[in-house]
Amino acid sequence: MRGVVAMDGPSGTGKSTVSRRLAQACSAAYLDTGAMYRAATLAVLRAGLGEQAPAAELARAATSASIESGTDPAAPTITLDGADVSAEIRGPEVTALVSAVSAVSEVRTELVARQHALIRAAVDGGGGIIVEGRDIGTVVVPDAPLKVYLTASPEVRAARRGRQDAKAGRDSDLHRTLADVERRDRLDSSRRVSPLYAAADALVLDTDLLSADAVLDRLRELVADRG
């Protein structure tokens, strides 16, 4: 494939798993924009700031950090100021603050510019790229030839997050995870800048009733048609 596939949806829909596997199956690059917002949030925490800090301070800490995202789907990497932070950005402190940091418009402007550079490099290099996030089909690549919006009920998504946490050795509690999923849905969908919603021309897939394999099969057919 040569173009961009925009994969959006809330957390716990299986978006990352399916996006990575799709990229590998299509020999395409892969960009996890959520990891970039998480790394920016880790920079904010390291600067000693929290939710109560003024937006300008959050923006300064987040945008002055050096964040590098690898786009190899076999080994996605994310570094902050030169060090690998892929495990740290999944921790509870970052998860609790990321929606607040990603609602700051200066943070989005900076990270979207970096995303555009990575997407351009993949497309100019002659390959395609699968880009996952919340605003890819609506804001980052509104002319993507294929846009997919994955959804699932909050309960199913919280259970998936819980299994991922257990696998990664992170403490988790189903009630707390469900509350976090619902809180982030609310914040991500209601923010003023780039809120989470399905683009009018996105294919919406409900993954409550679909396995990752079934979603992947459907996406491979779609990529073969228009990717």
Q: Which is nearer to ligand C5P, 26 or 140 (CB)?
A: 140
Q: Which of 5, 11, 13, 73 binds ligand C5P (CB under 6 A)?
A: 11
In the stretch 31-70, what mask flags binding to ligand C5P with x, by CB under 6 A? --xx--xx--------------------------------
φ/ψ (deg, to 5) at 30 = -140, 130
Q: Edge-to-edge strand order for the sheet containing 203-206?
A: 29-32, 129-133, 4-8, 146-151, 203-206
Binding site feature residues: 9-17
User: What gap in Å lies between CA 196 and CA 194, rounded to an integer?
Assistant: 7
Least separation in angstroms between CB 205 and ligand C5P: 17
Q: Using alpha carbons, list the distances in angstroms from residue 40 to 78, 150, 151, 153, 191.
A: 11, 24, 25, 28, 18
Least separation in angstroms between CB 103 and ligand C5P: 7
Work out the number of other CB atoms within 10 angstroms of the CB of residue 23. 28
Dihedral angle sign, alpha carbons of residues 204, 205, 207, 213: negative
Q: Edge-to-edge strand order for the sheet containing 83-84?
A: 67-69, 78-80, 83-84
User: What gap in Å lies between CA 43 and CA 80, rounded to an integer?
Assistant: 8
Q: Which of 98, 129, 146, 222 binds ligand C5P (CB under 6 A)?
A: 98
Least separation in angstroms between CB 138 and ligand C5P: 10
Question: Per DSSP, what are the bridge partners of residue 69?
Answer: 78
Q: Is 188 in the site for ligand C5P (CB under 6 A)?
A: yes
Q: Which stretch binds ligand C5P (CB under 6 A): 21-29, 54-62, 127-135, 211-219?
A: 127-135
Q: Which of 102, 138, 177, 207 binds ligand C5P (CB under 6 A)?
A: 102
Q: Is 184 in the site for ligand C5P (CB under 6 A)?
A: yes
Q: Which is nearer to ligand C5P, 110 or 135 (CB)?
A: 135
The residue count for binding ligand C5P (CB under 6 A) is 13
| Interface ranges with ligand C5P (CB under 6 A) | 11, 33-34, 37-38, 98-99, 102, 133-135, 184, 188
